[in-house]
Amino acid sequence: MNKIFCISRQGSISAGRNNYFTHLIRCSKQRNFANTAGKPQRKHHYFGLGLLGIFTGFVTYDGVVNDFIYSGASIRFLRSVKTASLIAIDYFLLERHVDDFDYDLQLKQVHLKSAGRLLETCLLNGGLYIKMGQGVAAINHILPKEYTSTLEKLQDKCLPTTKADVQKVFIKDFGANPEHIYCDFEYTPIAAASLAQVFKAKLKSGEDVAVKVQYGDLQKRFTSDLGTIMFLQDIIEIFFKNYNFGWILRDLRKNLVQELNFENEGQNAERCAKDLEKFKYVHVPSIYWEYTKPRVLTMEWVNGFKVSDVERIQLEKLDLKDVDLKLFNMFAEQIFHTGFVHADPHPGNVYVRKNPKTGQAELVLLDHGLYEFLPESVRLPLCEFWEATVLRDEQRMKSAAQKIGINDHMKFAEVLFQQPIRIHGGRIKTKLSESDIEYIQQVAKKNFELIMGTLKDMPRNMLFVVRNLNTVRAIGRQHGDVVDRPRTMARYAQHCIYVKYNSIRSYMFWFYRRLIFEYNLW
């Protein structure tokens, strides 16, 4: 018994010693682990603080020296990539449900969601992004209405800048704040566009004026923003081989640089006013050169409302048909006669006002920053092509297209008129039905490469003309297509062909051709 107890006691002592030493070893290991692990953790901690310090220093330096140009460009780049990725993922996931009975409804929901993301990104990024969004909104004959109706808000709903930003531009360009230049200056913008905001002011002589002030950082961020857009275009081209618009963006770069110079815009406005002076119903605001700089444009204050405001047109008891006829003739004069073409005639740039004496509608043409010039070598064949297309004279269509440098005359006609062209058994339509629009969208998707090939074949100065035609066509559609735009412009094109020499003989020949033209359309 004692022996057993002794053995048991010795075992307990031994076990206790083992537990004690085990505890010491564990504690020692934990202390050693803590000592060895603590150093790397402190290193990581210091490394993180170092990165944060570098980033903070970069942003601070960029803000003081460059007005946050580089850090802002990085944010816009990441925001754009994020938006593009989310949109791509949504459409990718949607393809898994292509056989669902409610696929069309899901597709419309994705369209609307994606359009909302684009709108938000364009508004936050500003500048060129807004201008691109405005261009997308103008092609409502091809893109889903969820996109075009959403992005239409970009025409006059851009984000305003602060009072300090406006003052910074004036101090740099004039050497003084707006209050010292004008008798009165209202800092709340009356309109905000892609490149600038418009404010109401009063000259010391008493006249009310509209002052267009460019966003202060726009010229500095132009290169980086265009680079981001080109990068996204290149990425899209990798995954979608057919959707390549990079060549268009590269060609537009020169024109966009000109648009950033408001003195150039003032000169364009005066030339436009001279070209259209024969139209008593067209008004171009006068420029006050004493108060104009490359980033600040001061012009005559004009009251009016957007040409797309159908309710206001009717409220003013103006004839919608009269408004459209004047609108189409105004731009037909530029395209077919003068060749000096307004490249951005969206509704925010075309206002309507009522003449107090005659009670008739007058058009006010705004924003003359972007123009294109069509030389006679392109303009006259274009007149011939337009007339021949309306008359469905394929031989003359082909001949006129070749003079311009276009090989596929039928595709060229569809690009200009934005509807299927049938030589036999049909006519150029004034008003397109929903089925016609759906058909156009399907054809555009199916023949996208051919359409892009036609655009590439066109002279580069024709691109803005196509944009002008699309934008004006969209306005006519908003009005219900109450005027036959193709025929109206065809009559104007024909007039420009045969009266260019301004002689009695040319007028007689034009009258003869006009009789034949009207007879064939009767």
Q: Which amino acid is at 126?
A: G
Query: Are residues 323 and 291 located together in one domain of the fold?
Result: yes
Phi/psi for 201 (5° steps) reads -145, 170
Q: What is the pLDDT of residue 518?
A: 74
Query: Are residues 413 and 491 located together in one domain of the fold?
Result: yes
Domain assignment of residue 36, yes or no: no
* CA quadruple 495, 500, 503, 508: dihedral sign: negative
Instruction: Compute and round to an integer the Cα radius of gyration of the chain.
Output: 33
Q: What is the pLDDT of residue 23?
A: 45
Alpha helices in 158-294 (DSSP H): 163-173, 178-181, 218-239, 246-259, 262-275
Tokens 């800048």 found at? 161
Sequence-separated (6 or more) residues with CB below 8 Å from residue 244: 233, 237, 452
Catalytic residue IDs:
344
Q: Which amino acid is at 342?
A: H
Query: Are residues 356 and 280 located together in one domain of the fold?
Result: yes
Query: Are residues 127 and 224 located together in one domain of the fold?
Result: no
Q: What is the pLDDT of residue 21?
A: 39
Q: What is the pLDDT of residue 483?
A: 93
Query: Are residues 308 and 193 located together in one domain of the fold?
Result: yes
Q: What is the pLDDT of residue 159?
A: 63
How many structural domains does the chain have?
Answer: 3
Q: What is the pLDDT of residue 277?
A: 96
This prediction has a pTM of 0.74
Domain assignment of residue 237, yes or no: yes
Query: Are residues 365 and 506 located together in one domain of the fold?
Result: no
Domain boundary residue, one of 155, 181, 199 = 155
Query: Are residues 246 and 347 located together in one domain of the fold?
Result: yes
Query: Are residues 134 and 182 located together in one domain of the fold?
Result: no
pLDDT lower than 50: segments of the chain: 1-68
Domain assignment of residue 129, yes or no: yes
Sequence-separated (6 or more) residues with CB below 8 Å from residue 149: 115
d(CA 426, CA 420): 10
Domain boundary residue, one of 314, 337, 372 = 372
Domain assignment of residue 175, yes or no: yes
d(CA 438, CA 365): 32
Q: What is the pLDDT of residue 243?
A: 56
Could you tell me the residue range of the domain that residue 430 belongs to?
373-521
Q: What is the CATH number of the domain that holds 344?
A: 1.10.510
Domain assignment of residue 278, yes or no: yes
Query: Are residues 318 and 219 located together in one domain of the fold?
Result: yes
Domain assignment of residue 50, yes or no: no
Domain assignment of residue 5, yes or no: no
Q: What is the pLDDT of residue 415?
A: 86
d(CA 11, CA 514): 125
Domain boundary residue, one of 372, 402, 431 = 372
Q: What is the pLDDT of residue 447?
A: 66
Query: Are residues 174 and 191 located together in one domain of the fold?
Result: yes
Query: Are residues 260 and 141 located together in one domain of the fold?
Result: no
Q: What is the pLDDT of residue 172?
A: 94
Q: What is the pLDDT of residue 153?
A: 79
Domain assignment of residue 12, yes or no: no
Query: Are residues 130 and 210 located together in one domain of the fold?
Result: no
